[in-house]
Amino acid sequence: MFIIRPIETKDLDGLMELLEKSGHGLTSLPKDPEVLKKRIRMSERSFANREDTPTGEDYLFVMEEIFTGKIVGVCAIISKIGGFQPYYFYRLEKTHHESKLIHVKNDVTALHFHFVHNGPAEICSLYLHPDFRNSQNGRFLSLSRFLFIAENRKLFEDQVIAEMRGMVNDSGHSPFWDAVGKHFFKIDFPTADYLYIKNKKFIEDMMPKYPIIANLLPEEAEYVIGKVHPNTEPAKRILEQEGFRFSGLVGIFEPGPVLIAELDNIRSIKESVVGEIKEISDKPFKSEIFIISRQSSNFRAALGGVVKLKSGGYKISGVAAAALKLRLGDKIRFVSFRPKEIKKKKVTKKKLKV
């Protein structure tokens, strides 16, 4: 069984071990103990000192295997991007050209340098150990963050983005970087990726402000614009099922798509329910799977069954209660693990097989 909880200083070694297999592309979590230590300290301050308005707090969570204590995943939420150090993107603009004289039609895509000072919230830094990747663990890791947001709504901006990992191979090769970035920065992609965490200012110093015409790039570089890494496809589908859509922005180095959503329209936030525990059962009972978090300042989330009682309140399993450190009378926030339309499709498939 797994829980998701805020990261702590003691988790540094476990986080470093987790990231050993992360390859390139996880820009926000470099394999640098000093950078990670600083990020963990910032996260602990964010959880401890919650303001009434978002000011760039960084909430970092880990997914822990309860019985072993092994950290198998990590994810984060930033309450607001921008501020003194803006975030940089390309904005895609497509124009249609047509000549009746030569009977030719053509679409031209331009990448416009775009930066954000007063930005939305961001979900980021999602990584799951390869040995634990499956549809259940990945969905749980991604969606648990929305229960934290629902519980602490005033701490976040009204919109949230997710910058998806672009097409970079395991050795750090990016066809888009080779065609564009390296000509302006004169460094390789992994170095630029690392420096981006340290200080983003060098991007504005070196990047040309005129549009880049995608149609003039090598075919391999043009193809990856707006595409996600194969390992990121499941994460993208999960967010789209929650209500995220393409924002028209892509990453500045490896141009993966930036997805966006209104917080209050995200399924896991909108459909989440708050209730009181009236029964903790040590016996199995029928229930769909829910993501459950305890309603307290010390966030924890787990998967489990929840049943509404006729007498009022809710019943949960003893295993889930123990994982979340819950007692009778405590309140929980929970949401269905999968959107209703996905569950309906699965039922249809089963009926067809029969």
Q: Which residues are the active-site residues?
A: 229
Helix (H) or strand (E) holding 230: none
Q: Using the Cα atoms of residue 191, residue 193, residue 198 and residue 201 in order, give the sign of their dihedral.
A: positive
Instruction: State the residue for tokens 């390309």.
Output: 90
Backbone φ, ψ for residue 214 (5° rounding)? -60, -35
348's CB contacts (< 8 A; 6+ apart) are: none
CA angle 320, 322, 323 (to 5 degrees): 65
Query: CA nearest 334: which of 288, 275, 282?
Result: 275
3-state secondary structure of 142: helix
Instruction: List the structure tokens of 119.
Output: 């930005």
DSSP per-residue letters across 46-68: HHHS--SS-SS-EEEEEEEETTT
What does the radius of gyration of the chain's CA atoms come to, in whole angstroms? 22
- Parallel, antiparallel, or unpaired for β 273-281 and 212-213? unpaired
How far, in Å, CA of 38 to CA of 142, rounded? 23
Query: CA nearest 250: which of 308, 317, 194, 181?
Result: 181
CB neighbourhood size of 285 (10 A): 12
Give the per-residue SS3 of 235-299. HHHHHHHHCCEEEEEECCCCCCEEEEEEHHHCHHHHCCEEEEEEEEECCCCCCCEEEEEECCCCC
How far, in Å, CA of 222 to CA of 175, rounded? 9
